[in-house]
Structure 1
């Protein structure tokens, strides 16, 4: 005689996951926008100048490191949630974007390691000359991380903006804001050297990602995560 085994209904967390995605999406770019605005030094400064500026502003340096920590935790999930919204409409472009942007975000801890070292060495009472001498000899992985970061997050974000445009899932302005955000960041960091313009660049990505979050919230649960 056959028996029917009762199974407990599976908890439906799709609404909660949509809200989680919408909340996470703008946090990473916004954290980097604030980091770049409050950065105690300019990207084009030499190592001695960077060391002196960081040691002169330990509070600002600590704030920068905390913002970098927040960005590290949220940028990759944010990129994933963007891809989850648009991947069925532009699968190849979305995949290429992630292949570039995710490694770029993942190397952020290596990018911040030098500043963290200078802060710690300064708090320990080491002199600026010794700290600078050590900072000028980074591990090879740190140098490689800089290349991966620049190429990955700049090209990846541009392509992600194009993918958003082609998906028609968000307003056109959000796709444009995402696509142009990192070229503006590069110009602000190494061409005109403007922390305010850098805030605008990363802020545009935060606004674009926030629009993605709003589009996710407007979906029905089955549109976000169809049940089998």
Structure 2
């Protein structure tokens, strides 16, 4: 750093740019990692509107593990939108439209994840209260209300479509290895399959989709750091 003509300390542009790149690269990797860790530690996922089952699952969960899942999700809430924007910026030069649409969908799609994480915390809190069964109807009504339903739809459609577009954009831009780009593309349908296949294999198929997202993000983070 050097003093300016007015005696103020100025930060070199190169240093500031480097800091931004590091923060974006950390978000590109850290967001999916936090999402993966939080989902792996999540109590068994229940059907939407099944308040009693959700509260019971939280009551039966290990408190340390359940708290760890919430911490991981909270960290992911901050990093995932930045990471999506970073992927869009990485692909923008050679695939501007796909990168722009994918980046916007990613940011908008991840913003409601904070509300969904708060819903998880609400279930955990209700499970700790005496006679937790009394709160099941309240939880179900809140979870299926218009606000949370809107948040859920924006979250599901936004972030799943975003990674398909971003993966294709990165592949076209040749910003990452082809396998990395296609890990991002495939992660969305695999994640969705965990919720729609018979038996809802979220803990296996769904987690596999999130693992693909994390693995595919690693070369992208490296490319952001090394980009001229």
**TM-score range for the pair, normalised by the shorter chain length:** 0.7 to 0.9
Higher relative contact order (CA 8 A, sep 6+): 1
Partners of 1:10 and 1:131 lie apart in 2 by 53
Aligned residue among 49, 56, 61 for 2:53? 49
Match of 1:225 in 2: none
Match of 2:66 in 1: 61
Partners of 2:55 and 2:127 lie apart in 1 by 9
Q: Normalising to structure 1: TM-score of the pair?
A: 0.86
8 Å contact kept, 1:33–1:198: no
8 Å contact kept, 2:56–2:127: no
Q: Normalising to structure 2: TM-score of the pair?
A: 0.86
Structure with bigger gyration radius = 1
Confirm whether residue 199 of structure 1 aligns to residue 198 of structure 2: no
Partners of 2:86 and 2:167 lie apart in 1 by 14
Aligned residue among 159, 163, 173 for 2:169? 163
Shift of 1:122: 2.6
**What residue ranges of structure 1 are gaps of 5+ in the alignment?**
221-228
8 Å contact kept, 2:55–2:126: no
Q: Which shows bigger deviation, 142-151 or 7-16?
A: 7-16
**What residue ranges of structure 2 are gaps of 5+ in the alignment?**
none
8 Å contact kept, 2:89–2:99: no
Q: Which shows bigger deviation, 177-186 or 91-100?
A: 91-100
> Compared with structure 1, are the counterparts of its residues 154 and 43 closer, same or farther at alpha carbon in structure 2 (3 Å cutoff)?
farther
Partners of 1:55 and 1:10 lie apart in 2 by 51
Match of 1:83 in 2: 88
> Compared with structure 1, are the counterparts of its residues 99 and 24 closer, same or farther at alpha carbon in structure 2 (3 Å cutoff)?
closer
Shift of 1:10: 5.0
Aligned residue among 113, 117, 125 for 2:118? 113
